[in-house]
A = this chain, B = another copy of it.
């Protein structure tokens, strides 16, 4: 499982749209706070692998492509740990 403390150090880019508190900074950006880590990992890997198109995928896919499995697990653990 991911390490939320390590994840906190890896979300520098995410916060512009998803907030450090996991709440979307504009209506089109989903809230991540309190989603399960399992769901967040699944979504990030679908972006990374080029499976998830539409929506904001033009932004998300390039971001996800630079991430390791461990990065994704840590970042997901960070956001899953927050209260919405």
Residues of A participating in the B interface, judged by any CB pair closer than 8 Å: 24, 27-31, 34-39, 42-43, 45-47, 49, 51-57, 84
- Residue ID in chain B nearest A49 by CB atoms: B54
A12 to B10, CA, bound (A): 39
Q: Which B residues are in CB contact (< 8 Å) with A27?
A: 36-39
Q: Which B residues are in CB contact (< 8 Å) with A34?
A: 31, 84
Q: Which B residues are in CB contact (< 8 Å) with A31?
A: 34-35, 84
Q: Quick check: B49 and A51 within 8 Å, CB to CB?
A: no
In addition to A42-B56, A46-B55, 15 A-B residue pairs with Cβ atoms within 8 Å of each other are: A24-B39, A27-B36, A27-B38, A27-B39, A28-B39, A28-B42, A30-B39, A42-B54, A42-B55, A46-B53, A49-B54, A51-B53, A52-B52, A52-B57, A53-B53
